[in-house]
Structures are given as C-alpha cells and as structure tokens.
Amino acid sequence: MNNFVFSQKIYSYLLAAYRWYLLTPQRSLDQAYKAALHIKAIEDEHFNGKKIEADSTIYSSSMMDYFELDLKKQLKIARMRLTEFRASRWFSNESNQKAAQKTGIEYPSASIILEKLRFIDEIISKYTVTDIDTNYGIVTQPQRVKIDDVATQKSLASLPNKNIEPKPQRKADTTGVLPRSILGTISRLQIELDPNSEQDVVKSFRQAQRRTIISIRFILLLIIIPLLAHQLSKAFIVGPFINHFRPPETTAVFLNFEMEEEALAELERFEERIKFESLIVNAPPISPEEMENRLKEKAEEIAEQFRAESANAIKNVFSDIFSVVAFVWLLLVSKSSISVLKDFFDNVVYGLSDSAKAFIIILFTDVFVGFHSPHGWEVILEGISRHWGLPANRDFIFLFIATFPVILDTIFKYWIFRYLNRISPSAVATYRNMNE
C-alpha cells in the first residue's frame, strides 16, 4: 500500500514537471513581456515616454541610480526569458503540442505571440549594456568606432563626436616607450588643471564603489548558491529518494573495503580497551558471554554508523551534481558580473606593490607546487574520495601529484614571463630575489 501511494506521488510529481516543461515557452514569453511593460511604465511615468537616459538632468544622481538599477534588472529578465523562450521553442515539436492539448494546456495564437515579441524587441532595442561596463550605466549609442591607440584616444577625448569610443585599456595593455611614472605624472597634472576634475573624481569613486559592491556580491553568490543547492537538494530531494530506494535494513553496510577495514580496526580497539580496563582496575575477568554481548552491541553501533556514512556518500554524489548545475547556471546568467569581477581583480592585483605581488606569488606557488605541496594534495584527494564513498586509489593519487603541480608550475612561469615581466619588471626582480 505504501509503495502504491509513493508511486502515485511520483507520478503526480512527474506529471506536474511535464506540464511545467510544456508551459515553458508561454511562461518565458509572459515574463519577458511583463519586464518590457515595466520598463515602458517607467518611461511613461517619469521620462515623458522617452528612453531612460543616464545623463538626464530631470532627476538627481541618486534617483537616476535607482532608475538605472531597476532598468538593468528588467532588461536582464527580458533577455533571459527571451533566450529561454527561443530554446524551449526549438525543443518544442508537434508531438509536444499534442501532449499539451491532452493535458489541458492551450497555447496563445500566433498573432498574440508576434505582438508580444514585437513590443519586447521595441523596448529592448533602445538599450544596450556593454559587456565590460566601466560606467555601470546605459550606453545610448551601441555602435561606435573603436580607437586602439592611446595617444589618439587622448587627442580625441575632447572632440564633440559622440560616435568615437576609446577602447577600454587594462593595465596589462599600458606599456609604452616612455616610463609609466612620467606618463602618470603628466596625466596627474592634466587632471589637476582640469576645472571639472572634482566631478570626475566623484564619478570615478562611484564607479569603483559600484564595481567593488558588484564583485563582492557576486563572489558571495558563487559561494552561497552552490552550498545552498547542495544542502537543500540533499535534504529535500536526494535524501528522501535515497532513503526510500535504499532502506537501511536491506542494504550493504560498506561501500568499499577501506570502510570495512576501518570498522574492523575500531572493533579491535574496542575489544583491547575492554581487556586493558579490566586489567588496570584489578576487576574479575570478563566472561566470554559478556565479552561477546558487548562486542555485538559495539558491532551493531559501528554497522549503523557506517551504513549512515555510506548513504551520506551516495547522497553527496547527487547533491554535488545539483551544486555544479547551480554554479554553472549562475555563471551563464551573470556574464556582465563576470566582466566586472575580472576588472575588479585586475585593479586589485595590479594595484599591489611589487613586494606584495612577489609575496603572494611565492605563497601561492609554495602551497600548491612547492616542496611540501604533495602532502596537501594527498589530503585533498583522500577527502574527496571519502566524500563520495570511493576507495582512495593510491596509484591515481601519486600520478595526479606527479603531473598536476608540474602543470600549475608551468602556467605560473609562463604568466610571469609573458605578462608580469612586461607589466611590472620590478615585481619580477623582487620575486626572484625573495625566491633565492
């Protein structure tokens, strides 16, 4: 009876999931349409039906920040749901439509779908957000001429032509004929003589502040979301499923021979401890029956412990899959945040002093590819094997230790030779002196 009820629940869950899959195109289009309607409502209510301009003088900077954040959120929702709509429509076929009709689902007419798509495209086409958003605002001219030369950029910066956009320069691309200190001094003097320098400083500070907030928030999301996905899936999805199809009474206690050897060693220590305690307290010897009963109770306790550990290892495998899916999904939907994070790390790393760069490089290389690193890698690999309930393969561990740190060391040396030596040769010299 219990199996029949459980089967009915599984069938209802599968049917609900299938209906959710069949409704994906309609649901995605409706959500994208609602986001476009929200943007249109902001335009009509606050900007007289015009597009939301970043440099609008109608409202203060704080109010414009509020409108820009709301706009970015709705644009992101609209683009994501349109992508989901196209993907679901690509997988949809005639058989799926017939199945949807059998389950009572009615799709809207083609004219309604086309009208919604036209409206969404009309709203989204007004706005374009750059991949590496240094201003974190709205770019009103999506097509601009890229200027690569630094001198040409500076000379064209004062021209009124708004269709010329300097290419964003990273610190890795700022090497030139003259030393950077001289160029930096000249640039600083130009900034100090500029009457609008105070506004530029405030604007740069706001940009840096936004970049830092977005980067820290994204790093926390990269850590918290996979952990939450692992724990929630393990508690509410994987755990009940494994407990139902793997009842503790009928399953094997051990997943591998290492668990069995560990249990036997623990039972032997328990027996030796009993004999030792009886000897040091001068108590009468324990009878064989009592010894057997105590060993039996301990064996049942150890079996229960390792049975739970085996079930937990199986749950960890499937929960880790959910965690990886959540991590990959977060990366796919956060491309703009990834670009901001790259720029944030670029400014942090290349903004360090030469001695700090050398210290971090030496610390990182000694931990992961240094003389004592094989012991750390061995502990990590054994922990992963135990986490998944797999036997620790010594041959694989030794082969991994013999190859992976060497690959990491090669990557480090190539990065130092290819990039750091060109960007900060003094940091490379400091690193070599400290390493020697």
Give one DSSP letter per residue of 217-272, joined into a string.
HHHHHHHHHHHHHHHHHIIIIIHHHHHHHS-TTTS-S-SSHHHHHHHHHHHHHHHH
DSSP letter (8 states) at residue 145: E
> How confident is residue 134, by pLDDT bands cut at 50, 70 and 90?
very low
State the first-to-last Cα distance of the chain, in angstroms, to the nearest integer.
74
Indicate if the pLDDT at residue 385 is higher than 80. yes
The more confidently predicted of residues 321 and 92 is 321
Does 422 reside within a domain? Answer: yes
DSSP letter (8 states) at residue 126: T
- State the pLDDT at residue 223: 94
Q: Are residues 22 and 121 in the same domain?
A: yes
> How confident is residue 132, by pLDDT bands cut at 50, 70 and 90?
very low
237-258 average pLDDT score: 78
Q: Are residues 294 and 388 in the same domain?
A: no
Count of all residues that appear for the chain in the document: 436
Q: Identify the sign of the CA torsion 57, 62, 65, 69.
A: negative
Q: Are residues 312 and 371 in the same domain?
A: no
Does 189 reside within a domain? Answer: no
Does 98 reside within a domain? Answer: yes
Contact present, 427 and 354 (Cβ < 8 Å): yes
- Inter-CA distances, 231 with 116, 234, 319, 365, Å: 39, 5, 7, 33
Contact present, 389 and 260 (Cβ < 8 Å): no
Indicate if the pLDDT at residue 61 is higher than 90. no
Does 410 reside within a domain? Answer: yes
Is residue 160 classed as helix, strand or coil in its secondary structure?
coil
Q: What are phi and psi of 284, to 5 degrees?
A: -60, 150
Helices marked H in 254-353 — which ranges?
Answer: 257-280, 288-332, 335-350
Q: Are residues 310 and 367 in the same domain?
A: no
Q: Are residues 14 and 84 in the same domain?
A: yes
Q: Are residues 383 and 305 in the same domain?
A: no
pLDDT tens sequence across 155-181: 444 444 444 444 445 444 445 555 666
Q: Which of 109, 127, 145 is the last residue of a domain?
A: 127
pLDDT tens sequence across 307-361: 888 888 889 999 999 999 999 999 998 888 898 898 888 888 878 888 888 888 8
Q: Are residues 326 and 260 in the same domain?
A: yes
178-188 average pLDDT score: 68
Q: Are residues 329 and 420 in the same domain?
A: no
Does 16 reside within a domain? Answer: yes
The more confidently predicted of residues 396 and 90 is 396
- State the pLDDT at residue 251: 65
Domain count along the chain: 3
- State the pLDDT at residue 371: 76
Contact present, 83 and 24 (Cβ < 8 Å): no
Separation of alpha carbons 310 and 258, rounded Å? 12
pLDDT tens sequence across 100-120: 555 566 667 778 888 888 888
Residue 151 corresponds to which tokens in the numbers above? Answer: 């001198």
Contact present, 163 and 145 (Cβ < 8 Å): yes
Separation of alpha carbons 129 and 137, rounded Å? 8
- State the pLDDT at residue 229: 93
Does 43 reside within a domain? Answer: yes
Does 176 reside within a domain? Answer: no
Q: Are residues 380 and 319 in the same domain?
A: no
Mean predicted lDDT score pLDDT of the chain:
77
Residues with Cβ within 8 Å of 343's Cβ and at least 6 positions away in sequence, in order, are 132, 134, 170, 211
Residue 345 corresponds to which tokens in the numbers above? Answer: 């790390």
Indicate if the pLDDT at residue 152 is higher than 50. no
Residue 244 corresponds to which tokens in the numbers above? Answer: 């139902």
Separation of alpha carbons 149 and 21, rounded Å? 51
Q: Are residues 318 and 374 in the same domain?
A: no
Q: What domain range includes position 271?
A: 226-336
Separation of alpha carbons 326 and 221, rounded Å? 10
- State the pLDDT at residue 337: 87
160-185 burial, b at 16+ Cβ within 10 Å, e below that, comes to eeeebbbeeeeeeeeeeeeeeeeeee
230-244 average pLDDT score: 88
Indicate if the pLDDT at residue 42 is higher than 60. yes
Q: Which of 61, 94, 127 is the last residue of a domain?
A: 127
Q: Are residues 326 and 381 in the same domain?
A: no
Number of neighbouring beta carbons within 10 Å of residue 55: 8
Which residue in the block uniquely carries the two structure tokens 């939301």? 52
131-160 average pLDDT score: 40
Indicate if the pLDDT at residue 188 is higher than 90. no
Q: Are residues 399 and 283 in the same domain?
A: no
> How confident is residue 227, by pLDDT bands cut at 50, 70 and 90?
very high
Q: Which of 68, 97, 127 is the last residue of a domain?
A: 127
Separation of alpha carbons 137 and 340, rounded Å? 13
- State the pLDDT at residue 26: 80
- State the pLDDT at residue 413: 86
Indicate if the pLDDT at residue 373 is higher than 50. yes
Is residue 54 classed as helix, strand or coil in its secondary structure?
coil
The gap from C-alpha 247 to its chain's centroid, in whole angstroms, comes to 35
Does 159 reside within a domain? Answer: no
